[in-house]
Amino acid sequence: MANATEYEAFVVARQFDAPRALVWKAFTETDRLAHWWGPKGFKLTHAALDLKPGGLFHYGMEAPDGKPMWGRWVFREVEAPARLVFVSSFSNPEGEIGPCPFPMDWPPEVLSEILFTEEGGRTNLHMTGIPINATDAQFQTFEGMKPSMQMGWGGTFEQLAAYLKEASQ
């Protein structure tokens, strides 16, 4: 296994024109996730959320071409409304760690943290992720995919911003 300290974490940051309490709810309530979660063009087909340390966010999506994709977050820390720490993975429909749905040597687990801070009624979101339990080749794949991940999360956060404009507290 590779040493994570040799690599830089993936970082994405975004400011939303909404109070932190609402952005937190958008991330932690399944009925709200249904309105924005996932890459552009994907449809959320399943969302189960147990928001506590050791709890699971298990989700299924349908790609524009109809192919299913599953993922999961296992929460390590939940500090409402300021911080989420979790291990994200692709999964199978049963919620077990599954293979990457794309033809690449993707790390099986990524340790992620999302920080939510409020400034003048707006929310700053800062997310980091670094592979854990990964081989050197998987770290290299992760490193090479950072531009694509920026685009993917950018589209997801555009959908979140649109949802937040229409959502109520």
State the burial class of residue 67 (Cβ atoms within 10 Å of its Cβ: 0-12, 13-18, 19+): exposed
What is this structure's pTM? 0.94
Q: What is the number of domains present in the chain?
A: 1
For the stretch 18-73, pLDDT in tens is 999 999 999 999 999 999 999 989 999 999 999 999 999 999 999 999 999 999 99
Structural contact between residues 113 and 107, judged by C-beta atoms closer than 8 angstroms: no
Which of 15, 70, 61 lies closest to 34 in space, CA to CA? 61
Beta bridge partners of 74: 56, 87
Give the domain range for residue 30: 4-166
For the stretch 71-130, pLDDT in tens is 999 999 999 999 999 999 999 999 999 989 988 999 999 999 999 999 999 999 999 999
Residue 56: give its domain's CATH number: 3.30.530.20
